[in-house]
Structure 1
Amino acid sequence: MNHNPQSDLIKLTDVATKLPKLINKVPHLLSGLKQAYLRTPTTATGLGIAFEKAVKHNPHGMALLFEEQKFSYQALNEWANQIGHFYLSLGARKGDVIAVMVENRPELLATVIALAKIGVTTALVNTSQTAKALTHSINLVKPIAVIAGEECRAAIEEVRSDLNVGTDRFHWFADQPTRVESGTAPKGWSNLAEKIDHFPKFNTPTTHTVQGKDGLFYIYTSGTTGLPKAVIFTHSRWTLAYGTYGHVLNLNKNDVMYVTLPLYHATGIVVCWCGVIAGHATLALRRKFSTSSFWKDVQKFDASAIGYVGELCRYLMDAPTSENEQRHRVKKMIGNGMRPNIWDKYKARFGVEEILELYASSEGNVGFSNVFNFDNTVGFSPTPYAIVEFDKESNSPVKDAKGWCKKVKKGDVGLLIGKITRRSPFDGYTDPEKNKSVIMKDVFKHGDSFFNTGDLVRDIGFRHAQFVDRLGDTFRWKGENVSTTEVENAVSEYEKIAEAVVYGVEIPNTNGRAGMAAITLSEGTTLTEQDLQQMATQFKKCVPAYAVPVFLRIQKQVETTGTFKYQKNKLKEQSFDPNKNDERLLVLLPNATGYCDLTPEIFSNIEAYQYRF
């Protein structure tokens, strides 16, 4: 049965019933909001200062748990200080960038804290990137060094000759507990664990010189040109997240937050971790999400909170019931993408009381957080925003007779835009042209400016919203943003494919949209059985696993508009339904090594949720 969004509209009486439970959070919330909003671009602020404050309040409490490793706040801080002092000795200074490609493990967090304290921006390279995209991501931010975990070294070695980084600036961590055994670095790499060993453990002198306007992270996001965009995430924005999401979570020293999300994304590294630091609590980390190990780990680490994305929740809901799923003390979750049709079922099955769904983007200036603990909403926003009427056909906001945008009525869906002000600045991308394309001017009056999120949301009242869909040339699948242009380029490189149009299609009972490519073949060619295997193999080499098209549609020619834009709306509408297509459809079924024909029988099995994509 489909969920009715109109049932989620919020009334004044609904807000009143939530207030009593909010009262005990108020002191912590006010403290957070004070830190979030009493900051300026030149205030000394950020991750380094917040972490040192947590060390001072809880030096012997656990900061980090990973596999069998444990680090107190003091121990993690001393490790970070040694890394920081080492880079200061190399001449690293505020404003420099270091590219870091390490999977979720203690070495990554120690490095991030270290670089934050010395004012160096960490470029958080997606650990699944390879080839062209990896070269682009690293060179784009002009790093003074690269830090790689052994688990990512092969991908970097493959493109090393194309990287604009000094040959002596490739630093390496063994894929093991390097505080115990540093390992032996391969040829051409400096062993970072060894290099830092003789450096001091006291705080670096630079922490309080780092200001709000200084860069903390580069986080990569899919771009419309096909290659990743680097979004600057400043210490000021981190402090805003720390003061809002971090304090809404309301953790304390006895809490343990279990996180399996990749830390090269903001949900993990910013939202989840800043909640832990704000409460001087413990972060329990896993390298990659595993359905079968999830509740076992929750028990092992005695977790009381978890970080999530919608896909993760769906996998847990699909798993057979186990005795571990109720034997835990998890009462809170923070993240995004929880689907309305499983929200209540999830809470009931796993005993979770508070789902702190949120909305934010790495580059945006508007954020929502479910502070009142309503169901089926990304929550409440204290930042200035508007939801405006949007015409999907013309792909532009609807204007009134005077040329101004029109706000939607309560219950309606529109484009979310964030007002750009001194308190809600737009930090933007490394590419000035990209910045211009997402800023809307003269929206409601002359001289105002708004950030275009590219997202459709529903206004459900009392400054609350519901996420509906993503517009434009990216879609979300497996909790990741997929760039259609990047996939189009990769698919078109297959020798028999002349042209490809990529778009996202919905598969019942899954989150986001799966990739589908409408392809036209080179003249005189046909696809053989061998091609169906080779295409899948080649695509997997060119793009991350989550970006490989699940469906292919073989067209005689690609339909375009008068301005030569692809007719994606029609393609999305027809989707992968054989009843709506008279062209050949192919599907890459879960765990298959090649594409196969999408028959009516396979289609009905997909619709009946017989395959787990």
Structure 2
Amino acid sequence: IQISNACACIVGSEHAEKLHEVRETLENIPSEMIFEQAESVPTETFPSANLLLANFPGDRPQPPALPRGDAPMCYIYTSGTTGLPKAAIIKNSRWFSASCLFGRGLLELHPGDVNYVPLPLYHSTGMFAGLGSSLLTGATLALRTKFSASNFWSDIRQFEATAFVYIGELLRYLLNQPASPEDTNHKIRVITGNGLRPDIWTTFAKRFQISEIREFYGATEGNAPTVNLENRPGMVGRLGPGQSILRCDLATGDVLRNSDGFCEKVAVGETGLLVAQISTTTPFDGYADKAATEKKILHDAFAKGDRSFNSGDLITLHENWWISFADRVGDTFRWKGENVSTNEVAEILNDAPGVLESNVYGVLVPGADGRAGMASLNCREDFSLEDFTSFVIEKLPGYQRPYFLRLQQDMRITGTFKHQKVDYRKEGFDPSLIKDPLFFLDGSQYLTVDQDVFSSLQEGTRKLR
């Protein structure tokens, strides 16, 4: 009894008196937890187990039902980069399969690994690639309350992390930190996430000596995930079965249909709308709001009655089915008859002298055809407006140049490190709404936007050239 560390005991009547003699030596079992099980006449040395069981309710509580794969596990709100967040339904089967994809497929975690997660768990990457992959593989989860660029690598060393997850502009913020001899003092063997832009991919991998970067594409609610397992900078993977890139109006995202009323796929080198067939193997679970769910479904793309998930993302097709992210529908805008990709322009501006990061969007100018480009810039102390102007004129054609600039200390981002554009577009270049320095491109030089200049642009007495 002592060896078993038992805290209770039921003894037969034939051994009851013997046990009574030594009960004072039993360290772990109080007397009231010893019961006698009598086959015939009890000795009454200990309380009767028969009587106790007879008085015990016979109806046992039903064990809770096992969770079903098609039952909701949680709701995850979309990031809201281009509108209000929506509650995406995450079913148990989706959580499980996504966690397997990240834990086993992308990060290849094992019980000895430590997965560092500086992202909130209310976002799908933190939930699936962070918590889910650790639970399914037995790897340790190192979860930081809030991302800190300055403490990132010291955390990595402290927890001896072997993998971490990222999203949006997170890696750019790490790259913007001062270089240190400790940059390569870590045990990271693989990272995964989405939003690593091609303008910093190679630089980041070389500076921090990250040999495996597993960039993926996918929406919280979507059914069209892709994965780049080959470390090819700028790519988010290859098109999979049931996935297509359709010809569309790049400014509105409206699909273009042929004379038969069906959609057409883009050719290599072209950009279009990514969609994915909705089927039993690639379901679209939608949102809590049924109307919002229906808006994301494209009907009759290739045949009457078919249904596809509309990703809302513009994707560029490359050779051998490789694809790269181009822009969000609604972010690309039209100016001077040309479509302007905000991501493409931002990647170029990020290379300008003194620029740490840029956020590009289109703003309305009364009397102008389309939207004029505007860039919010986070700059170093050595930023020169004159040098930036020369860079813009040399590197960008007229229709891609940012006609308006907004200089900021801190870029406005979502909770998942994606650039916020909706509020910026609403504020435009109005100096009464914006306290940051504002400039507009007047031919070959940027001039300060004050209330007089703003009024002249609004009234049409001053034209954009």
Q: Name the TM-score class by shorter chain.
A: 0.5 to 0.7
CA contact (8 A) 1:368 1:378 kept: yes
Aligned to 2:204: 346
| 3-state SS in 1 of match to 2:131 | helix
Letter in 1 for 2:186: H
* Inter-CA distance 226–327: structure 2 relative to 1 (3 Å threshold): closer
Aligned to 2:218: 360
* Inter-CA distance 596–575: structure 2 relative to 1 (3 Å threshold): closer
CA contact (8 A) 1:250 1:275 kept: no
| 3-state SS in 2 of match to 1:334 | strand
Aligned to 2:103: 246
Aligned to 1:232: 89
CA contact (8 A) 2:274 2:311 kept: yes
Is 2:259 the counterpart of 1:401? yes
* Inter-CA distance 383–209: structure 2 relative to 1 (3 Å threshold): farther
- Spell out, residue by residue over 1:377-433, the C-alpha distance to the aligned partner (whole angstroms, 9 max, x if none): 112455521111122256422222322111122332211001000111111112222
Q: Which of these residues, 182, 185, 201, is aligned with residue 327 of structure 1? A: 185
Aligned to 1:299: 157
Aligned to 2:291: 433
Letter in 2 for 1:571: R
When you count helix as a share of all residues, which structure comes out higher? Answer: 1
CA contact (8 A) 1:455 1:470 kept: yes
| 3-state SS in 1 of match to 2:111 | coil
Q: Which of these residues, 326, 329, 352, is aligned with residue 471 of structure 1? A: 329
TM superposition shift of 1:456: 0.9
- Counterparts of 1:28-39 in structure 2, within 5 Å, are none
CA separation in 2, counterparts of 1:225 and 1:371? Answer: 29
Q: Which of these residues, 141, 146, 160, is aligned with residue 288 of structure 1? A: 146
Aligned to 1:421: 279
- Counterparts of 1:573-592 in structure 2, within 5 Å, are 573=373, 587=406, 589-590=408-409
| 3-state SS in 2 of match to 1:209 | coil
CA separation in 2, counterparts of 1:513 and 1:598? Answer: 15
CA contact (8 A) 2:298 2:308 kept: yes
TM superposition shift of 1:588: 5.4
| 3-state SS in 1 of match to 2:76 | strand
* Inter-CA distance 573–588: structure 2 relative to 1 (3 Å threshold): closer
TM superposition shift of 1:511: 6.7
TM superposition shift of 1:245: 2.4
CA contact (8 A) 1:376 1:466 kept: yes
| 3-state SS in 2 of match to 1:408 | coil
Letter in 2 for 1:320: P
CA separation in 1, counterparts of 2:405 and 2:151? Answer: 33
Aligned to 1:371: 229
* Inter-CA distance 603–337: structure 2 relative to 1 (3 Å threshold): farther
CA separation in 2, counterparts of 1:396 and 1:417? Answer: 12
* Inter-CA distance 513–216: structure 2 relative to 1 (3 Å threshold): farther
TM-score of the aligned structures, taking structure 2 as reference length: 0.62
- Spell out, residue by residue over 1:537-557, the C-alpha distance to the aligned partner (whole angstroms, 9 max, x if none): xxxxxxxxxxxxxxxxxx5x5
* Inter-CA distance 398–461: structure 2 relative to 1 (3 Å threshold): same
CA separation in 2, counterparts of 1:585 and 1:461? Answer: 36
CA separation in 1, counterparts of 2:410 and 2:330? Answer: 30
Percent identical pairs in the alignment equals 36
Letter in 1 for 2:163: A
CA separation in 1, counterparts of 2:185 and 2:91? Answer: 39
CA separation in 2, counterparts of 1:352 and 1:439? Answer: 39
CA separation in 1, counterparts of 2:362 and 2:232? Answer: 34
* Inter-CA distance 290–394: structure 2 relative to 1 (3 Å threshold): closer
| 3-state SS in 2 of match to 1:349 | helix
Is 2:436 the counterpart of 1:595? yes
* Inter-CA distance 314–390: structure 2 relative to 1 (3 Å threshold): same
* Inter-CA distance 393–256: structure 2 relative to 1 (3 Å threshold): closer
Judge which range, 402-411 or 346-355, deviates more.
Answer: 402-411
* Inter-CA distance 586–444: structure 2 relative to 1 (3 Å threshold): closer
Letter in 2 for 1:445: A
Is 2:134 the counterpart of 1:276? yes
CA contact (8 A) 1:367 1:383 kept: no
* Inter-CA distance 227–456: structure 2 relative to 1 (3 Å threshold): closer
Letter in 2 for 1:598: F
Letter in 2 for 1:266: S
| 3-state SS in 1 of match to 2:327 | strand
- Spell out, residue by residue over 1:142-195, the C-alpha distance to the aligned partner (whole angstroms, 9 max, x if none): xxxxxxxxxxxxxxxxxxxxxxxxxxxxxxxxxxxxxxxxxxxxxxxxxxxxxx
Aligned to 1:263: 121
TM superposition shift of 1:371: 3.1
- Spell out, residue by residue over 1:111-147, the C-alpha distance to the aligned partner (whole angstroms, 9 max, x if none): xxxxxxxxxxxxxxxxxxxxxxxxxxxxxxxxxxxxx
CA separation in 1, counterparts of 2:328 and 2:410? Answer: 28
CA contact (8 A) 1:310 1:336 kept: yes
CA contact (8 A) 1:224 1:474 kept: no
Aligned to 2:386: none
CA separation in 2, counterparts of 1:573 and 1:375? Answer: 27
Aligned to 1:312: 170
Judge which range, 242-251 or 285-294, deviates more.
Answer: 242-251
Name stretches of at least 5 consecutive residues in structure 1 with no aligned partner. Answer: 1-203, 476-502, 519-554, 560-566, 605-613
Letter in 1 for 2:70: K
CA separation in 2, counterparts of 1:392 and 1:591? Answer: 30
CA separation in 2, counterparts of 1:227 and 1:400? Answer: 33
| 3-state SS in 2 of match to 1:391 | coil
CA contact (8 A) 2:113 2:161 kept: yes
CA separation in 1, counterparts of 2:446 and 2:215? Answer: 33
TM superposition shift of 1:275: 2.5
CA contact (8 A) 1:504 1:572 kept: no
Letter in 1 for 2:75: Y
Letter in 2 for 1:243: C
| 3-state SS in 2 of match to 1:377 | coil
CA separation in 2, counterparts of 1:512 and 1:235? Answer: 38
CA contact (8 A) 1:387 1:408 kept: yes
Aligned to 1:125: none
- Counterparts of 1:466-545 in structure 2, within 5 Å, are 466-472=324-330, 507=346, 508-509=349-350, 513=359
- Counterparts of 1:164-243 in structure 2, within 5 Å, are 206=64, 209-221=66-78, 226-243=83-100
Name stretches of at least 5 consecutive residues in structure 2 with no aligned partner. Answer: 1-61, 334-340, 351-355, 377-388, 412-433, 448-465
Aligned to 1:201: none
Letter in 2 for 1:590: Q
Is 2:278 the counterpart of 1:459? no
* Inter-CA distance 217–513: structure 2 relative to 1 (3 Å threshold): farther
* Inter-CA distance 373–227: structure 2 relative to 1 (3 Å threshold): closer
| Structure 1 vs Structure 2 CA RMSD | 3.6
- Counterparts of 1:59-70 in structure 2, within 5 Å, are none
